[in-house]
A = this chain, B = another copy of it.
Amino acid sequence: MADTTATDEPATDALPACQARTGDALAARYRHVRARSLALAAPLSPEDAMVQSMADASPAKWHLAHTTWFFELFVLGRDPDYRPYRPDWHYLFNSYYQSAGPMHARPARGLLSRPSLAEVLAYREAVDDAIDEAFARDALDPVARQVLLLGTHHEQQHQELLLTDIKHALWCNPLRPAYRDDLATAAASSSSPSAWIGFDEAVVEIGAPAWPRATEFAYDNESPPHRVLVPAHALASRPVNNAEYRAFIDAGGYREPALWMSEGWARVQAEGWTAPLYWDEDGERAFTLGGMRVIDPHAPVCHLSYFEADAFARWAGARLPTEAEWEQAARPLAVIGHFADDDRLQPCAPAATGRGLAQMFGDVWEWTASAYGAYPGFRTLPGSLAEYNGKFMCGQWVLRGGSCASPRDHLRASYRNFFYPPDRWQFSGLRLARDEQ
């Protein structure tokens, strides 16, 4: 189980042992995840928690409230006698569930000074108390327990978004303030050259058994397991790093249209891209959640759009891996790497490694060559939750592996993240692939 895995290794916000003993791992996971959100929001002032720097991002306060609304509506709300905490907040904190009723305009989330952060935290507490009490009186039926588990994964997704959104918001402030001043600075680092790891042509099975029929949690979009013919190819042993990406810049990569998708080149021109998001003008320092920091040449390059990842790969005489190639390679590996749990919140150079694939999990989400779509035989979850993933299967690309801002126990080899090709505010990088004869 995911939360068991989480206790294998120490982490700053590991689950207190006493709770794990109470017999209900789900309750423990719930408390753990909910506490983690609070910890992430703790460095933020009420004003920080309200900033929405672009339509794609949301205020931290909204993340805190929306994840709570999810539990309130879909878990507590299953009880016909449940009385909503504040019925008029439903409209504010519904994200995109058309079947749950109308919703506030997404780009206007940053205008909500009320409810205040304090009121949202009180809302969290009230819902947590109600959930706790439901656990205590064993009032959660199997479906409620499933949705509650889904809700913890949902909240973990929002934890990562909270970090990427606040990073963007603070970067929009000309003062460039830090989210936290106490984040560890990377030690002097190094990295070995990237090596090619070859794979023969094979029919492989990817995807996860459909939860909740299967016991292991996975999102609907990871199912069903299915066989794919994967051609002969090779994967780079580690993600592309900042030094390698700088060589691309120095070689004129941002000035050569032949390297780019047509839409990508239009974007480069329209927005004046000359480097990854957050790099300063001379390419020496970049904005991090700890403020402006010197760029580590050995750390994975980060905050790339799909267009940049794709152009770099073309320049390097390679390509991006497909998601099947990525998943085949990741399946046998443990979920080891740099995650949000490590409290650095910035990709790091690989630890001295032996042979084989490094940094498949954590550090940076890896753009793949795969457009986000339905697996053969895909079925959405029932009811409102059908809207969770399926309706976004158009125009986005799959990223794999998680990042330095992902909770470790949220990840797995079959996990499919997805963003639009111009998006750069996620911790997104790339790993090279190439065809083999």
Contacts and interface: CB of A to CB of B under 8 A. Distances in A.
Interface stretch (A111-119, A139-147, A148-156, A355-363): A111-119
A46 interface: yes
B394 A263 contact: yes
A50 interface: yes
Interface in A89-132: 91-92, 96, 98-99, 104, 108, 110-117
Nearest to A258: B99
A126 to B, nearest CB: 18
A401 interface: no
A93 to B, nearest CB: 11
Contact of A261 (B226, B228, B263, B393): B393
A84 interface: no
Given A50-B51, A262-B392, 7 more contacts: A45-B46, A47-B114, A92-B175, A99-B258, A203-B229, A227-B229, A319-B374
Interface string A198-240: 0000010000000000000000000000111101010000000
Contacts of A111: 51, 53, 110, 169, 172-173
Nearest to A117: B47
A261 B169 CA distance: 29
Given A47-B113, A98-B258, A113-B47, A88 B174 contact: yes
A263 B393 CA distance: 9
A377 interface: yes
Contacts of A392: 261-262
Contacts of A175: 88, 92, 114-115
A115 B46 CA distance: 12
A90 to B, nearest CB: 10
A421 interface: yes
Interface string A172-212: 11110100000000000000000000000001000000000
B48 A114 contact: yes
A264 B108 CA distance: 21
Nearest to A394: B261
12 contacts: A46-B46, A46-B47, A47-B50, A47-B113, A53-B111, A111-B173, A114-B170, A114-B173, A229-B229, A233-B376, A262-B392, A395-B421
Contacts of A395: 263, 395, 421
